[in-house]
Structure 1
Amino acid sequence: MLILPPLPQILTLDSNNQVLEQEPIISTAILLLIVIVIPIIFEKLKLPALVGLIISGVVLGPSCWHLFESETLIISLLSDIGLAYLMFVAGLEFNIQFFRRQQSRSLLFGSLIFCLPLILGTLAGKFLGLDWHISILIGCLLPSYSPLTYPIISRLGLVNNQAVTMTMGAKVFTDIGTLLMLTLALASFDSGVFSFAHTISKLGLVIIYFVIVLVGFDWANKEFLYRFGDEEFNKFLCVLMSVFFAVVIAQLMGLTKIAGFFLAGFAVNESVGESPVKEKLIFIGSVLFIPILFIDLGLRIDLPALFQGYSTIKLLIIILSILLASKFLAAIFTKLVYRYNWQETLTIWSLSIPLVSINLAVALGGYGTGLFSVELLNCAIILVLITAIVGPWLTSLVASSAVALTFAEVRDVPRITLSKQSGESTQREFTIVVPVSNPENQKYLIEMAALLACQSQGKILPLAIAAATAKMDTPQLQAACQHSERLLAQATAQSESLGASAEPLLRIDDGFADGICRTAREQRANLIIMGWGKRTGLRARLFGNIIDNVLWAAHCPVAIASLVESPSRIGRILIPMENLINPSLTPLHFAQTLADANQSQITVINICDRRTSSDEVTARRSHISSLVSQLVIPNPPDIQIITHENPIQAILQAARLYDLVILPSMRHLTTPGGLAISDVADELFRQLTCSIIILGEPQHDQQATFSNNPPDQTDLIQSWVLRYK
C-alpha cells in the first residue's frame, strides 16, 4: 500500500520546485488561484485582503511549504511590476481636492505628522547603533500613511468633516516628503559613507527632478489631452508615456525609479480626472500585479529567524511604538490648535496609522540597495500587516462615535429650496428613458415607468439601440433595426394601455451605454430605468457591463431594477439610510412618487452597532426625521433604528416583510493598494428575494461632496417634489 507523505513534505520535494521553475504557467495558475480565493475569504473575516495575501506568501514560502521562492523569475518579474503599479496607483488615486479645501490645516498637520515620526524613527535607529542612512530610512518608514480606512469614512458620511479632509489633504505633504527623503538617502549613499557635499549635490538633482515631473509633465499632459484626448486610447498612451519618461529621467539622473512611478501617477492625476481610463488603469494592477507583490512580501518573511531571537521583535516593538506615539502626538497638537473634539482627534490618529504603498516602497528600496537587512525588511512587512488591521478597526470604532456626535449636535437642518432657475426648466415634462432589449424584464420596467410618469404628469421614451456597423446598408443592421422596432412597438402599446404617454426612439450607435446616455442627454431626460444585467465574466470585470458605464456617464439619476412582481402590487417599500451626514434623498423621492401611485407605505431604516446607547438611537431617529421633513410630503415615512453587527444581514432580515428595497448606488471603490472593496449592492442583489432598485446619481453629484458647502440638490430633485409645493 502506497503511503504519501504529508502535503508540506510533498511540496518541499526538489522535483516539484524544479517543475515550478521550468513551467512558469503552473506557477502563474497557482498565483491566480490565490489572488482569487484569498481576498474573498479575508473579506468574510472582516480583514483587509492584503493581510490574507501576505499570509499566503508566508505559508507557500520558505518558512512553511517552500512551494515558491521570491527569487523565482515569474514572481520576481510580476512583483517588480506590482511595486511599480503600487506607486503609480498611489499617485494616480491621490485626491488633490482634499488638500485644496484646507491648505493651511493640511500643511500644519502634514508638517507635524511628517517631522515627528521621521525624527523619532531616525533617532531610534541611531539609538540601536545603525548608521545615518539606515536610520533615516527607518524614519522614512513611518510618516506616510495609506487611506485604507477611507471607505469606512465614506460609508459613514464623514468625508466633509474638517478633521477628515485635513488628514486626507496632509497626505500630499507626507507622501512627497517621504519620497524626497528616500530618493535623497538612496542617491547620497556612496560606499556606505555619508558625504555632506555629495548629499547637497544630490538634493539639487532631486529638486530639479521633482519640478520636471510635477510641473512639466502636468503641463504636457494637459496640453496633449486638450488637443488629442477625445479617444480613450490616446489617454492610455499619454499615461503610459508619462510613466516611462519619468522613470527614464530618474535613471539618467541616478535617482530611484520608485519616485518616478509615484510622481508620474501624481502628474497625470488631474489631467486624467475621474474617467473610465483611470478606473481601468487601476483595475489592471488591482487584479494581478499588486496582489502578487503582497504574496512576494510574504515569501520574504523568515519566520524561524523572526522568532529565533529577540532582536527582531524588539526592533518591531520599538518602531511600532514610535509610529503610534508620534502620530498620536501630531493629532494632539492639531487638536490644540484647531480645537477638535476627542472623537475627531482619535479619527485623525486612526486614519494616519495604516502603512501600505509608500512605506513598502521605502522598505523594498532600502533592501534592494543593501541598506536594509532581512530583519529590517521583515519588521517593515509585519508593521504593514499590523497597521492594516489596527487602523481600520480603530477607525470604525472612533468614527462611529464621531458620527453620533456630529448629527447629535445638529440644531437646524437646512431645508431644500425649490426656487425656479428658469421657467423652461420647471415647466418641462418629466421624462423617463427606458432602454428595451430583453423582453423578459421589459414588461415590468415599462409598468414601473408608467406609474411614475402618470403620477408626475410626464412621458416615457422607450429606447432601442441598434449596434452600428461600418456600412449602413448591411443586412445585420437591417435585422437589428427590425428587432428593435418590434420591441418598441410592444413597449409603446403597453405604455398606452397603462395610460402613459410614450414616444419610442430607435438609435443607431456604436455602444449601448453611450447610446443610452447620449439619448437621455439629448432628450433632457429626468430618469433612466434599466433592468439588472450580468455582472460576471471576464469582460464585465475588465471593462464593466452596460449598467456600470451608464451609471458612470449619465447626466440624470439611473434606476437599476430587479422586479420579481408587478410594480402595481408593491405595497411596502424599505429604504436603508446609512449615510446620515450627507445623505442622498433621491431614493426617498423616488419611493414617495411610487408610493403615491400605489398607496404604499415607506419605511426608512438606519442600522447601528449593538453597543449604541439609547440616547444615540434617539438622536439618530431625530436626525432622520429632520432630514425627511425637508421633503414636505403628505404621508411621512416610518423611521426605524435597528441595532445589528452586520448591516447586510440586518437589511436582509428587515426586507422579508417588504415588497421593494431601494438603495443608493455605491460605486466600486478601490484601496490605494488597488484591492477591490466588495460591493454591498451586489451582495444584496444576490440574496434578496423581493424586488430591489438601486438608484445611481449623476457623477457631478457624487463629486459634490468636495465642495465646502453642502451639495445643492435642487436641480436633481426639483422635478420629484415640485408637485408638493
Structure 2
Amino acid sequence: MERISQVLAIEPTAQVLSKEPIIAFAILLVVVLIVPILFERLRLPGIVGLVFSGVVLGSSGWNLFDPESPIINLLSDIGLVYLMFVTGLEVDINRFRQRKQRSLGLGSFTFSVSLAIGTLIGRFFGFDWNTSILIGSLFSSYSLLAYPIINRLGIINNEAVSITIGATFFTDIGALLILAVCVATTQIRIFSFVKLIPLFSWLIIYSFAILLGLDWLGKEFFRRSGDDEGNKFLFIFMSVFIAAVSIQLTEVEKVFTAFLVGLAVNEAVGEGSVKEKVVFIGNVLFIPIFFVHLGLLFKLPTIFNSIKNFQLTLLIVIGLIFGKLIAAGLAKIIYRYNWQETLTIWSLSMPQVGTTLAATVVGYQVGLLPITILNSVIILMLVTAILAPLITSRTAVALTTSPVSETTSLTLAAHQKEEPPSTFTIVVPVNNPQTQQYLMEMAALLARQSHGRIVPLAIATSTANMDAPQLELSLQRSERLLAKATAQSRVFGLKAEPLLRIDDAFAPGISRAAREQNASLIIMGWGKRTGLRARLFGNVIDNVLWASHCPVAVTRLVDSPKKIQRILVPLENLTAPALQPVQLAQMLAEANQSQVTVLNVCDRRTSSSKIAARRSHLSMLVSKIAVLNPPEIQIIPHENVVQAILQAARLYDLVVLPFIRSRTIVGSLTVSDVTTQLARQLTCSIVMLGEPQGHQNGTLLTNVSNNIKSV
C-alpha cells in the first residue's frame, strides 16, 4: 500500500511538470547550478553529476521528468547542436598545423585501432555492419577533458602532448563523417558500396562549402566590425542558426553540420573575450541540460537484466581503454617517446565526452543504436571522465621534472641573443583611490629596481558625444587621480609620465594604451566579480588579461609593499616558462632587501631521491634568474596542494601566484583551479601574474633581465 501511494504521489508530479514547462525549466536550472559544485567538492567531474542527476530524475529514479517532454527535448537538442559547435570552435588548428605529420600519425593510430576494436565488438554481439561500424566510430574520437591539468602544469608545448591536442582535428572529423554516412545509409534500401560514392562526394562538397565559405565570411565580418564585440557575438550565433537551417535544407546530420560551422569560424573568432562569452553561455546552460537529458535516457535495469548486456557494457569499457593504450603504444614505438609521454597520450585520448556522446544520441534517435549501446556508452563516459584526469594528473607531472632539455637551452640562448629592449615600462591604471597608493608603491619599487619608468594611466569613459557633461566630470576625476599618482612617485625619487586616455570602456582602453606605450608590465588592483553582468561577461581584469600584449600583475595588497620581507612563490610545474612569478618576486625582494622562497608541493608518496632530484632541478632553473641572492627552495610532500601552500603561507607577507587561464571546454568543469582556491583563502598580500594569451614564453623574464644587463 505504501508503495502504491508513493507511485500515485509521483505520477501527478510528472504530469504537472509536463504541462508546466516553466517549472521543469526552473528545476533544471537548480540542478545545473548546484549539482556540478557538489560533485567537484567530492573531486568528481561536474559532468558526472549532471548525468547522475538525469538518472535520479528519470525513469530509473524518481520518475519526475519524461525524457520525451517537448521542452526538455528542445533544450537538449539546442545543447547537442551547441556542444558540437563548441567542439569545432575549440579545435586547436594552429597546434595541428605546427606538428601536422605526427598529429595525423597519432590521429590515424587512435582512429583506426579504436574503429577496428569497436567494430569487432559490435559484430561479436550480433549487430549488423552499419551499426558495428558506428559503434567503432564512437571509440575513435576523444575529448581533451584533462586540458586544464596540462595547461596548469605548463607542458602544452611538450611534443607528445601537443600532437595529442592536434590529433583531435582528425579524429573528430573522421568520427562525425562516419556517423553522417551511417545515418544516410539507413535511407538506402539495398546497400552497395557503389551507392556510397555520390554520398561521399556530396558530403565532401558540402563540407568544403561550409568550411571555406563561412571561414571567408567570418574573417571579413570580423575585420569590418572592428572592436564591436556585440556584432561579433551575434555573428557566431548566426552561424549556429545557419547550421540549423542547413540541416533542414540538406538533411545532413545536425551534429556534423554544427561541428563544421564551429570549425569554419574557428580562426575568425580566435582566442579572446568574444569566444569566451559564446562558449560560456553554452557551458552554463544548454550543454549541461543536454547531459541531464542524457541521464534521463539511461535505463539502469537494461544493463543487469541479462548477462549479455552486462558483458557488452564491460567489453565496451575495456575495449576502449585498451584500444587507446595500443594507439599510444604505436606512437611510442614509431616516434620514440618515453613511458611518461606515452601514458600521458593514453590518458589524454581516453575520455569519451563531446563527439562520442553526441554521435551516440543521434544514432539512438535514428534507430541505429539500441538502448543497450546508449547505456553502455554513458557508463563508458562516466568511467573515462573519472579515470582519465586522475591518470593524467599523475603521469603528466613527470613531464615537468625532466632535465633541462635542448629546447629549453635553446630558448634561453635565444633570449640572450635578442636585441636590448626599450626601457622597462610599467603601466598602472589608477581608477580606485583606495588601492592607488599601494599600486604606485609596488610600481615604484619594480621600476627603480629594473631602471624603468612608470606610466600612471587614467581612462575617461565616454560615448560618441565628446561634449557630454559626463565626459567632463570623468576627465576632471581622472586628472585628480593622475596628479595624486605623480606626487606619490616623487616620494620614491621617480618621475612618473601620467597618461589620460578617452575610451569607450576601461579594459580596451588599458590594453590599447599599454600597447602604445610598449609596456613591459601592467599592475592592476584586485577586482571582485559583483553583479550579474560581471559574472556573465567578466570584469575589467578578465578582459585586460585576454587582450593585453604583456604580463599583467593583479594585486591584493593588505599592507604597504615597502614592508614586505618574506615572499612565497608556489610553483606547480618545474619548467623554465613557469618562472615568471619567481622573477617578479626576485625583483621586489632585491628592491626591499627581502627573501624569496620557491615552494613545490609533490605527492606524499614521492621518494627522498626524487625529492632531491626535484630540488636540484628547481635550483638549477632558479639560478638562471637569481645569481647574487638565490631564493630558498622548499619541496613539501603533501596529498593536498592547496592545504600545503596555505600552511606555508602563514609565515609570509606576500604570495606570488601564476594566473593560467584555462580554455573553456566541455570538460573544464572537471578540474579545480589551484590559484583560484588560494586566492579565496589566503589572508596575506597576493600578486597573481598572468601572461598574455599565446605568449607563454618568458616575456617578463626576458625583458627584465636584458634591461638590467643593458644598464
- When the two structures are superposed, what TM-score results if normalisation uses the length of structure 2? 0.94
What is the match of residue 660 of structure 2?
Answer: 666
Offset at residue 255 of structure 1 (A) = 1.9
Aligned pairs (5 A) from 1:406-417: 406-407=402-403, 413=409, 415=412
What is the match of residue 165 of structure 2?
Answer: 168
1:449–1:529 contact (8 Å) kept in structure 2: yes
Pair 12,214 (structure 1): closer, same or farther in 2 beyond 3 Å: farther
Question: What SS is found at the alignment partner of 1:179?
Answer: helix
Is 2:583 the partner of 1:589?
Answer: yes
What is the match of residue 24 of structure 2?
Answer: 27
CA distance in structure 1 between the partners assigned to 2:639 and 2:219 by the alignment? 47
CA distance in structure 1 between the partners assigned to 2:248 and 2:49 by the alignment? 34
CA distance in structure 2 between the partners assigned to 1:593 and 1:409 by the alignment? 26
> How many equivalent residue pairs?
709
2:659–2:675 contact (8 Å) kept in structure 1: yes
1:589–1:717 contact (8 Å) kept in structure 2: no
What is the alpha-carbon root mean square deviation over aligned residues?
2.5
Pair 309,419 (structure 1): closer, same or farther in 2 beyond 3 Å: closer
CA distance in structure 2 between the partners assigned to 1:639 and 1:322 by the alignment? 45
Amino acid at match of 1:63: S
Offset at residue 276 of structure 1 (A) = 1.6
What is the match of residue 708 of structure 1?
Answer: none
2:283–2:666 contact (8 Å) kept in structure 1: no
Offset at residue 690 of structure 1 (A) = 0.5
Unaligned runs of 5+ in 2: none
Amino acid at match of 2:164: T
Is 2:711 the partner of 1:717?
Answer: no
Amino acid at match of 2:592: N
Offset at residue 143 of structure 1 (A) = 0.5
Amino acid at match of 1:687: Q
Pair 610,259 (structure 1): closer, same or farther in 2 beyond 3 Å: same
Is 2:512 the partner of 1:527?
Answer: no
Pair 10,520 (structure 1): closer, same or farther in 2 beyond 3 Å: farther
What is the match of residue 125 of structure 2?
Answer: 128
What is the match of residue 178 of structure 2?
Answer: 181
Q: Which has the larger displacement, 193-202 or 261-270?
A: 193-202
Amino acid at match of 1:689: T
What is the match of residue 344 of structure 2?
Answer: 347
What is the match of residue 633 of structure 2?
Answer: 639
What is the match of residue 596 of structure 2?
Answer: 602
Offset at residue 602 of structure 1 (A) = 0.4
Offset at residue 11 of structure 1 (A) = 9.6
Amino acid at match of 2:708: R
Aligned pairs (5 A) from 1:66-465: 66-190=63-187, 194-228=191-225, 230-404=227-401, 406-407=402-403, 413=409, 415=412, 425-426=421-422, 428=423, 430-465=424-459
Question: What SS is found at the alignment partner of 1:187?
Answer: helix
CA distance in structure 2 between the partners assigned to 1:379 and 1:292 by the alignment? 20
User: Which of residues 470, 482, 506 in structure 1 aligns to 2:476?
Assistant: 482
Offset at residue 377 of structure 1 (A) = 1.2
What is the match of residue 577 of structure 1?
Answer: 571
1:286–1:674 contact (8 Å) kept in structure 2: no
Offset at residue 619 of structure 1 (A) = 1.6
CA distance in structure 1 between the partners assigned to 2:419 and 2:168 by the alignment? 42
Amino acid at match of 1:613: S
Question: What SS is found at the alignment partner of 1:62?
Answer: coil
Q: Which has the larger displacement, 357-366 or 444-453?
A: 444-453
Pair 659,336 (structure 1): closer, same or farther in 2 beyond 3 Å: same
Is 2:493 the partner of 1:496?
Answer: no
Aligned pairs (5 A) from 1:671-686: 671-673=665-667, 675=669, 677-686=671-680
1:285–1:674 contact (8 Å) kept in structure 2: no
Offset at residue 625 of structure 1 (A) = 1.4
Pair 582,211 (structure 1): closer, same or farther in 2 beyond 3 Å: farther
2:75–2:290 contact (8 Å) kept in structure 1: yes
Pair 609,409 (structure 1): closer, same or farther in 2 beyond 3 Å: farther
Offset at residue 275 of structure 1 (A) = 2.2
- When the two structures are superposed, what TM-score results if normalisation uses the length of structure 1? 0.92
CA distance in structure 1 between the partners assigned to 2:88 and 2:407 by the alignment? 40
CA distance in structure 1 between the partners assigned to 2:419 and 2:341 by the alignment? 42
Is 2:54 the partner of 1:63?
Answer: no
Q: Which has the larger displacement, 592-601 or 434-443?
A: 434-443
1:416–1:630 contact (8 Å) kept in structure 2: no
CA distance in structure 1 between the partners assigned to 2:393 and 2:189 by the alignment? 44
Offset at residue 129 of structure 1 (A) = 1.4
Offset at residue 720 of structure 1 (A) = 4.7
2:598–2:631 contact (8 Å) kept in structure 1: yes
Amino acid at match of 2:398: S
Pair 693,491 (structure 1): closer, same or farther in 2 beyond 3 Å: same
Pair 243,534 (structure 1): closer, same or farther in 2 beyond 3 Å: same
Pair 198,254 (structure 1): closer, same or farther in 2 beyond 3 Å: farther
Question: What SS is found at the alignment partner of 1:657?
Answer: coil
1:586–1:717 contact (8 Å) kept in structure 2: no
CA distance in structure 1 between the partners assigned to 2:584 and 2:7 by the alignment? 60
